[in-house]
Structures are given as structure tokens and as C-alpha cells.
Amino acid sequence: MPHGSDTLLALFVIFVAAQIGALLARVLKLPGVVGEIAAGCVVGPSLLGWVTPTEPLEVLAEIGVVLLLFSVGLETRIDEMKRVGRSAFLVGVLGVIVPFVLGSLWAHGSGFDWDKSLFVAAAFVATSAGITARVLQELGVLQRRESRVILGAAVIDDILAMLLLGIVTALQAGEDVQVGSLVLVVAEAVGFVVVIGLFGTRIARASTKRALPEKFGTSLALALALCLGLAFLSTKFGLAAIIGAFLAGMVASETPQREHLEHQTQPLLALLTPFFFVLTGAKIELAQLADSATLLTLGVITLIALVSKLAGGFLGALALGRRGALIVGVGMMPRGEVGVVIASLGLAAGVFSPRTYALIVAMSLLTSIITPPLLSALFKREAGKPDPTQ
Amino acid sequence: MPHGSDTLLALFVIFVAAQIGALLARVLKLPGVVGEIAAGCVVGPSLLGWVTPTEPLEVLAEIGVVLLLFSVGLETRIDEMKRVGRSAFLVGVLGVIVPFVLGSLWAHGSGFDWDKSLFVAAAFVATSAGITARVLQELGVLQRRESRVILGAAVIDDILAMLLLGIVTALQAGEDVQVGSLVLVVAEAVGFVVVIGLFGTRIARASTKRALPEKFGTSLALALALCLGLAFLSTKFGLAAIIGAFLAGMVASETPQREHLEHQTQPLLALLTPFFFVLTGAKIELAQLADSATLLTLGVITLIALVSKLAGGFLGALALGRRGALIVGVGMMPRGEVGVVIASLGLAAGVFSPRTYALIVAMSLLTSIITPPLLSALFKREAGKPDPTQ
């Protein structure tokens, strides 16, 4: 019985495009993820038009990036995260403040009033951990101290971005900023991360000394249930789903099944992460950016986004030495789909014109394409040298 | 950034409900799949209302059943299928004719005119291979001759069901049956199955003597691309997506990577097949069947559906001995989502009243719940005895 034929075709096209893109990228000595995003741009509405982002494809993409961060969490131990806590905190905070200040200055300079400028600036803030996590995993450097700092900072970054978005949305709507309720919201989010990150991992370590009877389900099924459950819960605390998935991975990494789970997660990533990266690429609307004035503006805001995040991350991570701080700064640069979400909110709220919307989306996605090769080059230039930070 | 929160919750609920249902079923010594379908009925709109089938969930379910039949194909060798070709053909043909004749007699007896009766009867015809395949896999009996016959017959069944549906749709719309074009459609479908089944497997066997360089992608990525591609193509030939996926699995099973692929497919099935079975259960609309007259009718048509398929399958498989033929007949009984699709077509075309629609959907799903315990009991009663057919 033929049904769902169009969706099956889209699945096939996306999956194959991702493989071809990753292959070409590797031939060009670039990270595979760049090829997958570029392939999305090619098969997406801007060029070939073979794939249009639809709700089912978005859900597959979301599951893909959730599983990716779960697998990154699996390779992350809470003890090692605690050791880089101070640097991660500084990187998270400075990596939000510097882009927010520079972004709002640029927006005000371009003629937005202050309330709107702060909203525009919010789109400069939030790091998207998916792209960087994938590059770190591809390079096999998740155990490096810089990687820990980036991942920890991404969690802090997400909490602060939520706070900022709450403030600018209230300001923009002409409402008073309810300091009390904002403090409560942030306290809840911090509480969620701390409870899962500290106590969840401790419970996992203690309880799995006695193995569960096999009939209570396989360890993979339990881990996936934990991953989906915490991903959902974390959206309830105003955080990205990937934060909950990352924490779930960290909890699972404290169990004796860790290696088994790492192994079993690989086929899931192989099937599902291409949807995330190809759809990221498919959202780049080239037609909106066709005239040279817009391209110039795009260049300017992309430069501001890159430099401000780099500066914030670099300053926060100076304790890792200049090269380590550089890696961290670069690793924090991608805005990815988080920038797209904020731009959509701005468009819906009438703060952004369609052109501003297209610019911010394009900037977010450009940062995602530019980061992987830089990060890869920085790590490879180090290869062979002993890692002074370990 | 909170987005997709509702979908994440649905994913979590479906996944956990499936695990709990499967656990309870195993405690009751039933196949896990019965528990997953029952769990879907509980969390679905009929009872708790926690999960509503949406398009993204349907797509996940479709990917789940496609991967399931791919993995079944991986455990199926073309040479062994050829050996049971004759029995499979007879089972497929008789398993379509008997239910169609009995179904149309019942429908005409219940007051439908002949054109509509034939349409109703079409819903009695098509076997849904997903349920049986899962039970056979759970029991570890995919290598048995009965399992081969069932799988081969399911392919032939799907071709004949497509043919029948083409005829009754034309009759119902008051059009002439275009014999020439129907023959062409069936010839194309048969051609697709034969070309992939015979030549695809041969090419796979020949070409993989030289291993592909690793940079052309992993064998899993290639296999998944083949699976999605053939699943799509098979819908283009009017067949179910799972037929193409099954053929893709058979092609991949001829390569040296077969065991590696079987291993890597397991986590994919663990994550995705629950969506198929839970959604199957969630579609059972209990409220439509509340009065006793409807329940009686439901009992009658379910009995007709079960007995007619059992008889057709049994007669076709007599060469396997009476017990083997019984297993084959039972294995062909589930109508599952194929019956649901035909019922939807009938509702849309105005052939069925909402009550008839609900009846046919409930009948299709009941056959899916009744079959697994029977099939499991038949195989278990044999356990210990040597298999005379091997």
C-alpha cells in the first residue's frame, strides 16, 4: 500500500546527500559535518529544492542532535567536568556578555531603538553545542581539557541565554522585567542541572553496583528512556533539549555499561544525526541574501558574532594557556539552530523585518560552517605535540 | 531554548510505555510485541489520551517497521527463499483468494451492494508482515522453513492486494477495469521484486569480494541508504515500503558485512520499532465499539478474517506437513496497518460509514493482537522436537 512515499524519498535524499557531502569534505580534508551542512544547502529549497524542512524531518533532526549530545555526555565524566568548572563558568559568562554588548551596540548603531537592539543582540548570544560536539567527536578529542571547558560552558551559556531572552522579550513587549520571577526561573534551571549532574551521576554510580535483572529491559532501553526523559524535562526548565540529553549521557557514563552503550549509540548516530546537519544547511536561504548591500551587512554581523564569541571565550579560558583559550573561543562560535529559533521569535514578535530575519539566520548558519574547519585545524596543528593541559 | 517540548514528551511516553508493556507481556509469557500494542491502546486517545498519533510519530513508526523488515531480510538468504518459492506462492495466492471470497460474501450478506462488498472484502485481504516478522525474530525462528514461507508469501500477498485494490477502486468509482494497465502495474511490481531479489543479491555477492575503501562510507551507511532507497522505490511500484526494505536486507545479507550489520541494526530497532507497535495500539478506538451489536459484528468479521486467512495459508502450505501449514496459516493472519490504510481509503471514498470504518480498523488491529500469542504457542509446543522440515 503506497503511503508516506514523499517522506521516504526525503529521508533517502537527506541520508545520501549527507554521506556524499561528508565524503567530499573528507577528500578536501575538512570535517565531515561541513560537508553535511553544505549538502543540505545544495538539496534544500535554495538550490535544488529536493528537500523542504517539514515537521517530521525537524523531529528526526531533533532526535539526532539529542542522541549526539547524549553520546558526548557518555564520553564525559562528572569528575573531569568539576575540575574545569571555574574556566567553564568564566567562558560561559564572558561568552554571553561580550557578544551581547557588541551585538546591541551594532544593532543600535544600525538604527534599532534600544529595546529592539537588545532583542537583536540576544541572537548573537547562544552557542549551539551540536556542531562543536560533533567536530570534537570526529577528531577524537572529547577527552581534552579544552573540550570539557567548551561543553561545560555550553551548559552555562544556555542558562544565561534563557535569562537574557526572558529579559529582552519582556522589555520588547513593554512589560516590566519581573526580577523575582526571572531569578526563580534561573534558580530552577540551575537546580535542574546541578541535581542531575551531581546527584544523578552519584546515584548511577551507587545503584549499578548491583546489576538490574535483564527482564527489566536492556541497558540501552533504560539509557534511551533516560535520554528522552531528561531531554523533555530540560525543555520544561527552559533549557535546550540537548542539555538534558548531555546530562543523561553523563549519568549513564557512571554505570558499568558505559562502553557497551558507547558502542550501541554509534548506529543511532549514523542514522539520525545526518538529519540534523542536512536540515541545518537546508535552512540557509541564499535568495534572501542576493544583493551586495545585504551581503556586506551579513559579513559585518557574522564577523561581530565570531569575534565577540571568540574574545569572550578566549578571555574566560586564559587559564588553559593561549592556544587552549583560542581553541575554546573557536569552539564556542557556532550559533546554529539556536540563533534560528531566536530569529523566528523576533520575526513572530514583529521585532525583525524578513530581511533582518534572513540575515540573522544566515549569520547563525555561517558561524556553523566556519567553525568546524578552524577547530579541526587548531587541533591538528597540535597533533604530535604533547598536550600540556593533561 | 524550549521547542518541540510536546513531541519530546510523546517520544518519552511512547518509548517507556513500550518497555513497560513488553516487560508485563514477558511476565505473562506472551510475546513482547503484544505488550507494546496493548501499551499503545492504554496511552492512546481511547484510554489515557497521553499520546495522539501525529505525522512526526507516524514517520518514526514507518522508519521503525522499515528497519524491522530490513533486519528480517538480513537474516534471510535468497537461496533459502527460492527453495520455498512454490509453497510461498501457493500461500500468497490462496491467502488472498479465500479471505476475499468470504469477505465479499459476508459484506453482501450484510446489505452492501456487490461493488461495495468487493471493496470491503479488500480490507480482509492484505497481510501485514510487520507483526509476524517481529514475533518470528523474538522467538529466534527466522531460519525455520515456515518463517521463509510466511515472508515469501507476504511479498506475493502484497502484490496481489495491490492488484485487488486497483480493481475494486475502479469498480467502486464506476470506471471500467483497465485490464491492460492493471497487468502492466502488476508486471512492474513483479519485475521490481524479481530484479532486486535475484539480480540485486547476485550483484551484492559478486561486487563485495573486493571490499570498498572505508572512505566511501561505512557499510552501515551504505546499507541504510539501500534500505531507505528501496523502501521508497517499492512505494513507487505500488508496494508497501516494508517490501523494499525486506529486499534491501536480503541484498545486504549476501555481503561479508552481514553479521556486522545484524549487530548494528539492533540499537536502531530498539529505539524505533516501539513507535510502530505503540502507534498501532493507539489507533484502536474503543469508544466506537461500545454497544453490544457492534461488538457482535466485530466478533463475526474478526472470526471471518482469522479463519479465512488461516484456511488459505494452511491449504497453500500443506507441503510442510499439517503442523507447519498451521504455523504458516497463523503467521499470515495479522492485517495490522494495511487494513487500516484500506479502511481509510474506503472512508474517504464514501464507501464505508464511520461505524464500518471503525469496525474494519478494530478487526485489523485485533488480528494483530491475537496472532502473536498463538504463533508463539505453536512454536513453543514444538521446541525440543526436531524440526522435520529442515
Mean pLDDT of B138-161: 90
Residues 6+ apart with CB under 8 A from A170: A176, A177, A178
- How do residues A170-195 score in pLDDT, each as one tens digit? 777 777 777 787 788 888 888 898 89
- How do residues B117-127 score in pLDDT, each as one tens digit? 888 888 888 88
Do B23 and A215 make contact, defined as CB atoms within 8 angstroms?
yes
- How do residues B27-47 score in pLDDT, each as one tens digit? 888 888 889 989 998 999 988
For residue B128, the 8-state DSSP code is -
Q: Which residue has the cell 553496583?
A: A209
Measured in angstroms, the CA of A385 and the nearest CA of chain B are apart by 27
Q: How confident is the model at residue B217 (pLDDT cuts 50, 70, 90)?
A: low
Do A220 and B162 make contact, defined as CB atoms within 8 angstroms?
no
Helix (H, G, I), strand (E, B) or coil at A314: helix
Interface of B with A in 206-265 (CB under 8 A): 215-218, 220-221, 224-225, 228-229, 231-232, 235-236, 238-241, 264-265
Task: Decide: A332 and A95 in contact? Cβ < 8 Å.
Answer: yes
Measure CA of the first residue to CA of the last residue in chain A; give whole Å.
58
Residue of B nearest to A234 (CA): B2
Do B62 and A19 make contact, defined as CB atoms within 8 angstroms?
no
Q: Which residue has the cell 466478533?
A: B299
pLDDT at A94 over 90: yes
A172: left (phi over 0), alpha (psi -120 to 50) or beta: alpha
Residues 6+ apart with CB under 8 A from B27: A215
Phi, psi dihedrals of residue B142, rounded to the nearest 5°:
-65, -20
Phi, psi dihedrals of residue A105, rounded to the nearest 5°:
-65, -45
Could you tell me the pTM of the whole model? 0.87
Q: How far apart are CA B272 and CA B270, in angstroms?
A: 6
- How do residues A36-54 score in pLDDT, each as one tens digit? 989 998 999 988 999 998 9
Q: How confident is the model at residue B215 (pLDDT cuts 50, 70, 90)?
A: very low
Please give the residue that has the higher pLDDT: either B325 or B215. Answer: B325
pLDDT at A229 over 60: yes
Q: How far apart are CA A77 and CA A86, in angstroms?
A: 16
Q: How far apart are CA A161 and CA A93, in angstroms?
A: 10
pLDDT at B210: 59
Please give the residue that has the higher pLDDT: either B8 or A166. Answer: B8
| Residue B299 touches partner A, C-beta closer than 8 Å | no
Q: How far apart are CA B244 and CA B52, in angstroms?
A: 28
Measured in angstroms, the CA of B227 and the nearest CA of chain A are apart by 9
- Cell output for A162: 534563557
Burial status of residue A43 (CB atoms within 10 A of its CB: 0-12, 13-18, 19 or more):
buried
Q: How far apart are CA B213 and CA B170, in angstroms?
A: 51
Q: How far apart are CA B312 and CA B92, in angstroms?
A: 8
pLDDT at B81 over 50: yes
- The least confident of A39-43, B320-324, B335-339, B354-358 is B335-339
Residue among B144, B134, B147, B146 nearest B32 (CA): B134
Amino acid symbol at A312: G
pLDDT at A1: 37
Do B11 and A60 make contact, defined as CB atoms within 8 angstroms?
no
Phi, psi dihedrals of residue A169, rounded to the nearest 5°:
-65, -40
pLDDT at B72 over 70: yes
User: Which residues in B lie closer than 8 A to residue A158 (C-beta atoms)?
Assistant: 1
- Cell output for B233: 522505490
Mean pLDDT of B210-238: 81
Please, where are the H alpha helices in chain B?
5-27, 32-43, 55-74, 78-83, 85-109, 114-122, 129-139, 145-172, 179-194, 201-207, 219-236, 241-252, 258-282, 292-316, 321-331, 336-348, 354-382
Q: Which residue has the cell 546499507?
A: B223
Interface of A with B in 132-191 (CB under 8 A): 158, 161-162, 165
Interface of B with A in 88-127 (CB under 8 A): 126
Q: How confident is the model at residue B384 (pLDDT cuts 50, 70, 90)?
A: low
Residue of A nearest to B345 (CA): A1
Q: Closest partner residue to B338 among A1, A165, A240, by Cβ?
A: A1
Q: How far apart are CA A302 and CA A314, in angstroms?
A: 18
pLDDT at A18: 96
Q: Which domains does chain B have, with CATH numbers?
A: 5-382 (1.20.1530.20)
Residue among B198, B152, B2 nearest A165 (CA): B2
List b or e across B56-71, with b for residues whose CB sees 16 or more CB atoms inside 10 angstroms.
bbbbbbbbbbbbbbbb
Q: How confident is the model at residue A386 (pLDDT cuts 50, 70, 90)?
A: low
Q: How confident is the model at residue A384 (pLDDT cuts 50, 70, 90)?
A: low
| Residue B28 touches partner A, C-beta closer than 8 Å | no
Do B11 and A239 make contact, defined as CB atoms within 8 angstroms?
no
pLDDT at B162: 78
| Residue A58 touches partner B, C-beta closer than 8 Å | yes
Do A4 and B59 make contact, defined as CB atoms within 8 angstroms?
yes
How many CB atoms are closer than 10 A to CB B294? 15
How many CB atoms are closer than 10 A to CB A29? 10
Do B235 and A3 make contact, defined as CB atoms within 8 angstroms?
yes
Q: How confident is the model at residue B386 (pLDDT cuts 50, 70, 90)?
A: low
Interface pTM, i.e. ipTM: 0.86
Residue among A228, A240, A62 nearest B9 (CA): A228
- How do residues B270-326 score in pLDDT, each as one tens digit? 999 999 999 988 887 777 777 888 899 999 999 999 999 999 999 999 999 999 999
Do A217 and B19 make contact, defined as CB atoms within 8 angstroms?
yes
Do B11 and A217 make contact, defined as CB atoms within 8 angstroms?
no
DSSP A266-305: HHHHHHHHHHHHHHHHHT--GGGG-SHHHHHHHHHHHHHH
Write down the mean pLDDT value for chain A: 86
**What angle (nearest 5°) sits at the alpha carbon of residue B71, between those of residues A58 and B219?**
75
| Residue B8 touches partner A, C-beta closer than 8 Å | yes
Please give the residue that has the higher pLDDT: either A4 or B128. Answer: B128
Interface of B with A in 120-139 (CB under 8 A): 126
Residue of B nearest to A155 (CA): B1
Residue among A173, A174, A170 nearest A162 (CA): A170
- How do residues A307-329 score in pLDDT, each as one tens digit? 999 999 999 999 999 999 999 99
Residue of A nearest to B56 (CA): A56
How many CB atoms are closer than 10 A to CB B78? 20
Q: How far apart are CA A263 and CA A219, in angstroms?
A: 12
Q: How far apart are CA A131 and CA A134, in angstroms?
A: 5
**What angle (nearest 5°) sits at the alpha carbon of residue B248, between those of residues B243 and B249?**
100
pLDDT at A388 over 60: no
Instruction: Give, for A325, the enclosing helix (H) or strand (E).
Output: helix A321-331
Residue of B nearest to A126 (CA): B1
- How do residues B176-209 score in pLDDT, each as one tens digit? 777 787 788 888 888 898 899 888 888 888 876 5
Do B228 and A11 make contact, defined as CB atoms within 8 angstroms?
yes
Interface of A with B in 352-371 (CB under 8 A): none
Do A236 and B1 make contact, defined as CB atoms within 8 angstroms?
no
User: Which residues in B lie closer than 8 A to residue A216 (C-beta atoms)?
Assistant: 23
Task: Decide: B94 and B313 in contact? Cβ < 8 Å.
Answer: yes
Mean pLDDT of B248-256: 91
**Chains A, B: CB contacts under 8 A, how many?**
158
pLDDT at A217: 55
Q: How far apart are CA A334 and CA A130, in angstroms?
A: 9
pLDDT at A207 over 80: no
pLDDT at A145: 92
Measure CA of the first residue to CA of the last residue in chain B; give whole Å.
58
Q: Closest partner residue to B5 among A56, A221, A236, by Cβ?
A: A236
- How do residues A128-164 score in pLDDT, each as one tens digit? 888 888 889 888 999 899 999 999 998 888 888 877 8
